[in-house]
């Protein structure tokens, strides 16, 4: 690892970062994986809903909304 | 021999447009395609033979994470050919399901949909190379315009038996996808599109929430406008100028008596469609001339919201509120569908992941979400000219009172259920598709399927309801029932005993209750009593059709629980409203 790492939930908007680790059970891994969220993918945060609401993120051409809890289990690396 | 073709693919790849293209106009039977999770079935010609074609619900993988995906996986079992529809702008993610499908022993044809859009975005895919790498036919298509569909049909005729690939781990599938992508896809950089900006605006809370409110408000305004226009210029003139003379003639032919009462009206002579309670008058007029126009308008607007891709954004915006109710943002979808008819709303609860979420969604739906039949009946009651003298304020005040009560109830009951129902409430995880211009024909087709379903479902129950009410009238049971329930209605809610008959008919069909309600003499109910009755009609029980579906979805044990919650809620709300509105 050469850049700084942070959790996806703390990733500032409009900054691209690479997923380096997904913590959490097999079930979560699989769920994220089937939508293409896995190690090595580049993601960016598009919006955050207030009051611990979900994050909308973009990976490639695909946007998705993911709960904060899940976003807390994903470590990303900023270039 | 090919008998069954199944369309599989991720959600939001335009599968239903492909389906619509392949089946032409011959969709024989269908439930609720689109946002809901039941499949559509149709027929198409292949080598001079008619084969069945099924549009399975969208799924990301063959390891289902909710019940609608389970339905999709089940469809696979008796498929002879699979058409795997892919979104060319998202090839990488879409290939995951493809690799899983290739591990089955069923021939697969790949349809690369949204081909034009991919090119527009600067994505180039070498489809010939992809076909070689995967060992299956690959056809680029643009379902919206029909480009490539002929080629797809051609390829369907040439499919060969498929040998199942070896099962791989997730990791290995992605490694293989990585290889494939590097071989077949090149991407040029393109700048932000207007559409992306629109997408950002509608999903960021600061701009997204006001836009959402505006869209919802505007949608209902349009539904009302279209509905009213249809009634004034089409349905009412038809019933008044063509249908009424026929009914009157038939009435004269029948003469006053038993048969006349059943078919035409309780009172001999002039026909008042709404309150006549005849099978050929009220039984036809209420569902077709009062409810259907709004159903048409509602489903058209809903298709628009679905097919443009707006609903997932709305789900994102309301996620934190719905989380307090034990669901997540997707819970808004059953509510939206339920506003049309509770039955598809019930089916849409399948897309929620856990039992707890489904239970809460289904129970709240049946308690606090009025279907279009109910909504139009509430409007009809308070704007009925006969009752205007009873109203102290403008009708809209009473109507708002009913709807506000229901809205508050949705949140209060949801909040309580979340506290007491055991189980998990997983977080939202939802794809946000790009905005798309809807395919007009598919939208019309979808709306038409839903309308047909409404007619098929509504008319028999309406007939049966009118029939039963008539029998009760004829044998004098209505008065007996009214006086039997008098003490309860009077004691608990300060309502006349006749209310029991209104509630009873509402169980058969919500819109039948309006006929029964208006058939009583004008002075029977005061304005505030009407508010209480209209509210309780929504809460106490869903109509019988919804009840049956709910039972199937929840199972008998949970259904019993839900029914108990409904009854307790109806009684409490009725009692509280009595204290507040009647002041006694």
pLDDT on residue B400: 94
Instruction: Among B131, B159, B187, give the residue marking a domain's end.
Output: B187
Chain A positions touching B207 (Cβ under 8 A) are: none
Specify whether B392 is located in the same domain as B470.
yes
B479 compared with B416, residue with greater pLDDT: B416
Evaluate if residue B457 carries a pLDDT over 80: no
Burial letters for B506-528: b for 16+ Cβ neighbours within 10 Å, e otherwise?
A: bbbbbbbbbbbbbbbeeebbbbb
| CB contact (8 A) between residue A50 and residue B92 | no
Residues in chain B with CB shorter than 8 Å from the CB of A47 are 200, 203-205, 208, 316
What does the pLDDT read at residue B298?
Answer: 92
> How confident is the model over B204-221, as pLDDT tens digits?
999 999 999 999 999 999
**B93·A67 Cβ contact <8 A:** no
Tally of residues, chain B: 584
Considering CB atoms only, which of A50, A62, A65 is closest to B205?
A50
Min CA distance, A53 vs chain B (Å)? 5
- When mean pLDDT is compared across A63-72, B58-67, B222-231, the lowest value belongs to B58-67
Comparing C-alpha atoms, which of B376, B209, B195 is closest to residue B285?
B376
Q: Is B511 on the interface with A (CB under 8 A)?
A: no
Nearest residue in A to B89, CA atom: A61
Residue of A nearest to B177 (CA): A36
- Is residue B411 domain-resident? yes
pLDDT at B35 over 70: no
> Which pLDDT score is estimated for A2?
61
Q: How confident is the model at residue B461 (pLDDT cuts 50, 70, 90)?
A: confident
- By percentage, how much of chain A surpasses pLDDT 70? 97
Q: How many Å apart are CA B107 and CA B126, to the nearest integer?
A: 21
pLDDT at B201: 93
- How confident is the prediction for chain B on average, in pLDDT? 87
User: Cα Rg for chain A, rounded, in angstroms?
Assistant: 11
**Complex ipTM:** 0.92
Q: What is the pLDDT of residue A61?
A: 80
Per-residue pLDDT tens for B105-156? 899 999 999 999 898 888 999 999 999 999 999 999 998 888 999 999 999 9
Closest CA to B449 of B318, B555, B302: B302
- Dihedral Cα B359, B360, B363, B365, nearest 10 deg: -120
3-state secondary structure B267-286: CCCCCCCCCCECCCCHHHHH
For residue B196, being part of any structural domain is answered with: no
Task: Tell me the mean pLDDT in the region A44-62.
Answer: 91
Residues 6+ apart with CB under 8 A from B48: none
Q: How many Å apart are CA B331 and CA B310, to the nearest integer?
A: 15
Q: Tally C-beta pairs within 8 A across A and B.
A: 99
Residue of B nearest to A29 (CA): B170
Give yes or no for A52 touching B (CB within 8 A).
Answer: yes
Taking the Cβ of residue B424 and every Cβ of chain A, the question of whether any pair is shorter than 8 Å is answered with no
Instruction: Mutation target for B interface from A8, A9, A30, A53: give the one with most B CBs within 10 A.
Output: A53
Is the separation of the CB atoms in B567 and B367 below 8 Å? Answer: no
Whether residues B272 and B389 share a domain: the answer is yes
Which helix or strand (DSSP H or E) is residue B110 part of? strand B108-113
B95-99, B146-150, B243-247, B466-470, range with the lowest pLDDT: B466-470
Find residue B252's DSSP bridge partners. none
Lowest mean pLDDT among A28-32, B307-311, B353-357, B407-411: A28-32
- Chain B residue numbers with beta carbons less than 8 Å from the beta carbon of A53 are 205, 319-320, 323
Tokens representing B27 are 């969709």
Residues of B in contact with A56 (CB under 8 A): 203, 316, 432
The per-residue pLDDT for B34 is 38
Q: How far apart are CA B152 and CA B140, in angstroms?
A: 8
Residue B166 shares a structural domain with residue B222: no
**Res B32: pLDDT:** 37
Average pLDDT in the B158-163 region? 81
**pLDDT exceeds cutoff 60 at B39:** yes
pLDDT digits (tens, 9 = 90+) for B306-360: 888 899 999 999 999 999 999 999 999 999 989 988 888 888 888 888 999 999 9
**Which positions in chain A touch B317 (Cβ < 8 Å)?**
49
Q: Which of B10-14, B35-39, B398-402 has the lowest mean pLDDT?
A: B35-39
The answer to whether B93 faces chain A, any CB pair under 8 Å, is yes
The pLDDT-based confidence of B36 (bands split at 50, 70, 90) is very low
Measuring CA to CA, how many Å separate B451 from each of B181, B344, B373, B375, B379?
43, 12, 13, 17, 21
Question: Is residue B195, in this structure, part of any structural domain at all?
Answer: no
Q: Do B92 and A56 touch (CB under 8 A)?
A: no
CATH of the domain at B115: 3.40.50.300
* B283 has pLDDT over 70: yes
Q: Bigger pLDDT: A31 or B210?
A: B210
In a domain, B452, yes or no: no
B341 and B473 inside one domain:
yes
Using 50, 70 and 90 to split pLDDT, how confident is the model at B11? Answer: confident
Who contacts B120 (Cβ-Cβ below 8 Å, separation ≥6)?
none
Query: Highest mean pLDDT range out of B411-415, B461-465, B496-500?
Result: B411-415
**Where residue B475 falls among pLDDT bands split at 50, 70, 90?**
confident
Q: How confident is the model at residue B50 (pLDDT cuts 50, 70, 90)?
A: confident
Query: Which among B89, B200, B428 is the top mutation candidate for probing chain A, defined by the most A β-carbons within 10 Å of its own β-carbon?
Result: B428
- Rounded-to-integer distance, Cα B64 and Cα A31, Å: 9
Q: How far is A2 from chain B (nearest CA, A)?
A: 23
Q: Indicate the number of domains in chain B.
A: 2
* For residues B567-576, average pLDDT: 94
CA distances from B364 to B167, B359, B406, B483 (A): 42, 8, 10, 32
Encoded tokens for B454: 């409404």
How far, rounded to the nearest angstrom, does the alpha carbon of residue B557 sit from its chain's CA centroid? 25
Residue pair B140/B89 in contact by the 8 Å Cβ criterion: no
DSSP B541-557: ---HHHHHHHHHHH-HH
Domain that holds residue B140: 4-187
Cβ(B102)–Cβ(B134) below 8 Å: yes
Tell me chain B's radius of gyration from C-alpha atoms: 27
CA dist B115 → B122, B154, B207, B284, B347 (Å): 11, 18, 32, 47, 32
Predicted confidence at residue A7, as pLDDT, reads 94
In this complex, the residue of B96, B121, B429 whose CB is nearest that of residue A31 is B429
Chain B residues touching A35 at Cβ < 8 A: 60, 93, 429, 431
Task: Note whether residue B387 is domain-resident.
Answer: yes
A53/B205 CB distance under 8 A:
yes
Residue of higher predicted confidence among B75 and B201: B201
B75 three-state secondary structure:
helix
User: Predicted confidence band at B192 (pLDDT cuts at 50, 70, 90)?
Assistant: low
C-beta separation of B500 from B489 below 8 A: yes
Among B159, B187, B215, the domain-final residue is B187
Q: Does domain A4-78 have CATH number 2.40.30.20?
A: no
- CB burial of residue B529 (10 Å; 0-12, 13-18, 19+): buried
> Would the CB atoms of A35 and B428 count as touching at under 8 Å?
no
**Where along chain A do its domains lie?**
4-78
pLDDT in tens, B56-112: 888 888 887 777 788 888 888 889 999 999 999 989 989 999 999 999 989 999 999
Evaluate if residue B482 carries a pLDDT over 90. no
Entry pTM? 0.86
Give yes or no: residues B117 and B264 share one domain: no
* CA separation for the pair B453, B445 (Å, rounded): 12
Does any domain span residue B457? no
Mean pLDDT calculated for residue range B511-530 = 83
Interface of B with A in 43-62 (CB under 8 A): 60-61
């Amino acid at each position: 690892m050469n850049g700084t790492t942070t959790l996806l939930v703390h990733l500032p908007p409009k900054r691209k970062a690479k997923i380096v680790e997904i913590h959490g059970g097999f079930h979560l891994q699989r769920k994220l994986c089937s939508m293409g969220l896995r190690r090595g993918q580049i993601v960016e945060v598009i919006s955050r809903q207030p009051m611990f609401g979900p994050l909308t993120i973009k990976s490639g051409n695909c946007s998705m909304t993911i709960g904060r809890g899940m976003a807390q289990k994903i470590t990303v690396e900023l270039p | 021999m090919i008998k069954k073709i199944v369309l599989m693919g991720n959600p939001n790849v335009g599968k239903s447009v492909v389906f619509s293209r392949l089946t032409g106009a011959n969709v024989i039977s269908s439930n609720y395609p689109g946002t809901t999770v039941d499949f559509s079935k149709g027929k198409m010609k292949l080598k001079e033979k008619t084969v069945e074609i099924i549009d399975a619900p969208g799924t990301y993988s063959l390891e289902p994470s909710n019940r609608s995906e389970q339905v999709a996986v089940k469809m696979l079992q008796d498929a002879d050919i699979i058409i795997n529809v892919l979104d060319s702008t998202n090839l990488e993610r879409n290939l995951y399901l493809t690799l899983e499908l290739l591990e089955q022993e069923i021939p697969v044809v790949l349809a690369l949909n949204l081909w034009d859009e991919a090119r527009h975005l600067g994505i180039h895919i070498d489809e010939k190379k992809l076909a070689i790498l995967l060992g299956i036919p690959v056809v680029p298509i643009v379902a919206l315009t029909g480009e490539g569909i002929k080629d797809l049909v051609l390829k369907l005729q040439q499919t060969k038996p498929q040998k199942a690939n070896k099962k791989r781990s997730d990791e290995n599938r992605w490694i293989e996808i990585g290889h494939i992508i590097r071989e077949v896809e090149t991407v040029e950089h393109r700048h932000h599109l207007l559409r992306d900006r629109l997408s950002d605006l509608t999903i960021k809370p600061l701009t997204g929430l006001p836009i959402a409110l505006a869209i919802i408000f505007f949608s209902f305004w349009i539904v009302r406008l279209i509905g009213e226009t249809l009634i004034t210029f089409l349905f009412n003139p038809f019933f008044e100028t063509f249908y009424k003379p026929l009914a009157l003639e038939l009435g004269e032919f029948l003469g006053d008596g038993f048969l006349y009462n059943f078919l035409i009206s309780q009172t001999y002579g002039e026909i008042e469609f709404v309150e006549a309670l005849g099978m050929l008058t009220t039984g036809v007029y209420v569902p077709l001339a009062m409810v259907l126009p709004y159903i048409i308008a509602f489903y058209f607007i809903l298709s628009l919201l679905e097919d443009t891709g707006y609903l997932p954004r709305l789900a994102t915006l309301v996620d934190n509120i719905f989380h307090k109710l034990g669901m997540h943002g997707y819970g808004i979808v059953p509510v939206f569908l339920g506003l049309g008819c509770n039955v598809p709303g019930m089916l849409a609860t399948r897309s929620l992941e856990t039992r707890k979420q489904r239970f809460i969604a289904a129970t709240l739906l049946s308690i606090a979400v009025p279907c279009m039949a109910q909504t139009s009946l509430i409007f009809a009651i308070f704007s009925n000219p006969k009752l205007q003298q009873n109203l102290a304020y403008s009708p809209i005040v009473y109507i708002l009172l009913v709807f506000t009560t229901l809205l508050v109830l949705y949140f209060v009951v949801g909040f309580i259920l979340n506290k007491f129902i055991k189980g998990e409430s997983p977080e939202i995880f939802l794809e946000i598709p790009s905005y798309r211009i809807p395919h007009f024909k598919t939208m019309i087709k979808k709306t038409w399927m839903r309308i047909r379903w409404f007619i098929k479902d509504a008319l028999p129950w309406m007939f049966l309801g009118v029939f039963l009410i008539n029998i009760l009238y004829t044998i004098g049971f209505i008065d007996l029932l009214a006086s039997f329930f008098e003490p309860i209605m009077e004691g608990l809610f300060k309502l006349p005993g006749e209310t029991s008959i209104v509630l009873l008919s509402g169980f058969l069909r919500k819109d039948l209750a309006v006929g029964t309600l208006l058939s009583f003499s004008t002075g029977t109910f005061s304005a505030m009593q009407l508010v209480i009755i209209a509210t309780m009609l929504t809460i106490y029980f869903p109509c019988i059709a919804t009840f049956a579906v709910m039972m199937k979805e929840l199972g008998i044990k949970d259904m019993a629980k839900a029914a108990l919650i409904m009854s307790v809620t109806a009684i409490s709300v009725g009692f509280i409203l009595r204290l507040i509105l009647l002041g006694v």
